[in-house]
Every structure is written in structure tokens, then in C-alpha cells.
Amino acid sequence: MRARNDVFWKRLTVSQASNRYGVHRTTIWRWIKKVKDLNLNGNTFIWTLPSTPKHHPNETKPEIVERIIKLRLELKRCSPIIHAQLKREGITIGLSTVSKILRKYKLTRTKKQLKDYKPFPRPIVDTLGSLVEIDTIHIVRNDYSRVYIYTVIDVYSRLAYACFSRYLSNKISFKVVKNAQKYFGFRFKIIQTDNGAEFSPVFEYKLNKIGIKLRHSRVSKPNDNAHIERFNRTI
């Protein structure tokens, strides 16, 4: 309304008013037209209406939305299962659309926020075995099957060890540690790994039984295991 009053009472041009309030001239004209159409006085506040359209020509049909909600409540299954059921019923809709509808109506389970993992301080590497890094390399074959290579490196001496494996598990990881320790010829004090499933609490429990501590690197921080990552590149 101030812009309209400036135009009518202070005799400013529309261009001057638009420069003063930082809006386009067309916006000033729309405000003036709205004041005339609604027959408002000079002190009335004009609410800005949202520019989001109420409907979209390609929006999902209400009956499909109702069917998605009904399937979710009946089956209590995830988006891919509901999407497959809709496909069997002859309803063409994208998987992402099904997921968005479930989120919109709050029919999805919220993921629990993981607490920030704070490992104990990185030890001072001054002796053999004071810090040993372990990692795995995933290799995809031509037939899309996978094989793995366990890699081990002692940060102090840079001695390295690698072995081939068809599977990943806590049992195999523990066996690799024992074989590497025998190959190096000295005991390990602290082992540092990433947060892979093959280095789970079961693996940590087995290490503690033989007097070895386990230290996990921070999530999405591969630089914590820089030495073993560089060795993986060599392989």
C-alpha cells in the first residue's frame, strides 16, 4: 500500500516507486489494480498470495493416490512392493511418485539418526604394531559376481599384506588379522578399519579376546585410512 500511496499522493511515477521498493513496474501496477478492485483504503495491508499452482495437468489422479494409501495400510510394505502391486493391477506410475505420496501423507518410517561416532584418539605411531590399518577391495567380475581382497598395512614400518577371499565376514576378517600378524612377525596393538559390515562388533569382540583394540575411522572420511587406501591403489 505504501507504493500505491506514493504514486497517488506523493505523485511519484511508477518507475520511481519500483526503484524505491525494489520491485518491477508491473508489480506496482498489479498492486494499484488490486486496491481498485477490492476498494481498499490507503492503510489496508495486502497479503501476497502464493504463486504455487493449486493443480497441475500431470498430477497423480486422486483415485490412484487413494489406492496407494489403501495398499500401504493393508500390506504395510515399502514403496517397491506397492509399486509392483500397482503394476500388476495395470496402473502405470513411477516408483519415485509412490515414495513421494507415502512421504507426503506421513506413511513412511523415519530413519533413526545415527549418533556421531567418536573414536578414541589416534595413537602415536612409534613402534611396530602400534597402528595397523585393514581394508577390503571389491572386484566385480564379467559375470557380475564379486570377489574380495583383504589388505593390511603397518603404519610404522609400512609392511603390507594382502590375501584373496570369495566372501566377507567377521570370521574371515579375524583370520586375516591372525595370518597377517604371523606374516609380519610382531603383535598388533591397535587395528583401524572403516565401518564395513565385515568389521562389526563381533570382529571387535574376537580382537579384544587376544588383546587387540579396534578403532573405526570416521564415516565418509577415507583420509583416516590414508595409508591403506594408497596401498589399495597399488594393488
pLDDT digits 0-9 by tens, 53-108: 777 888 899 999 999 999 999 988 889 889 989 999 999 999 999 999 999 999 98
Q: Are residues 145 and 201 in the same domain?
A: yes
User: 49 in a domain, yes or no?
Assistant: no
Cα–Cα distances in Å, from 8 out to 3, 19, 25, 44? 9, 16, 15, 15
Q: Is the pTM of this model over 0.85?
A: no
Domain around 81: 62-104
How many structural domains is the chain composed of? 3
How many other C-beta atoms can be found within 10 angstroms of the C-beta atom of residue 57? 5
Q: Are residues 140 and 219 in the same domain?
A: yes
Residue 168: what residue type? L
72 and 108 in contact (C-beta within 8 Å)?
A: no
Q: Are residues 75 and 23 in the same domain?
A: no
Which has more confidence, 144 or 196?
196
At residue 120, the pLDDT reads 79
**113 band by pLDDT with thresholds 50, 70 and 90:** very low
Q: Look at residue 40 and tell me whether its pLDDT is greater than 90.
A: no
By the 10 Å C-beta count (0-12 exposed, 13-18 middle, 19+ buried), 225 is classed as buried
At residue 131, the pLDDT reads 96
Which has more confidence, 94 or 118?
94
Residue from 169, 164, 163 nearest 206 by CA? 169
For residue 134, the surrounding DSSP H or E stretch is strand 132-140
Q: Are residues 162 and 198 in the same domain?
A: yes
Residue from 24, 19, 17 nearest 2 by CA? 17
Q: Mean pLDDT across the stretch 187-204?
A: 93
DSSP letters along 60-87, please?
PPHHHHHHHHHHHHHH---HHHHHHHHH
- In the chain, the percentage of residues whose pLDDT exceeds 90 is 55
Q: Look at residue 1 and tell me whether its pLDDT is greater than 60.
A: no
| Of the listed ranges 6-10, 14-18, 70-74, 221-225, the one predicted with least confidence | 6-10
User: 208 in a domain, yes or no?
Assistant: yes
**181 band by pLDDT with thresholds 50, 70 and 90:** very high
Instruction: Tell me 213's DSSP state.
Output: E
191 and 132 in contact (C-beta within 8 Å)?
A: yes
The string over 65-102, giving b where at least 16 C-beta atoms fall within 10 Å of a residue's C-beta and e elsewhere, is bebbbebbeeeeeebeebbebbeeeeeebeeebbbebb
Phi-psi region of 158 (alpha: psi -120 to 50; beta: other; left: phi over 0): left
User: What is the rounded CA–CA span in Å between residue 213 and residue 177?
Assistant: 12
At residue 37, the pLDDT reads 76
Mean pLDDT, the chain, whole residue set: 86
**6 band by pLDDT with thresholds 50, 70 and 90:** low
Kindly report the length of the chain: 235
User: What is the rounded CA–CA span in Å between residue 84 and residue 77?
Assistant: 11
Q: Look at residue 45 and tell me whether its pLDDT is greater than 70.
A: no
Q: Mean pLDDT across the stretch 204-225?
A: 91
Q: Are residues 79 and 166 in the same domain?
A: no
- In the chain, the percentage of residues whose pLDDT exceeds 70 is 87
**23 band by pLDDT with thresholds 50, 70 and 90:** confident
Residue with grid cell 578399519, as numbered in its chain: 193
Q: Are residues 31 and 74 in the same domain?
A: no
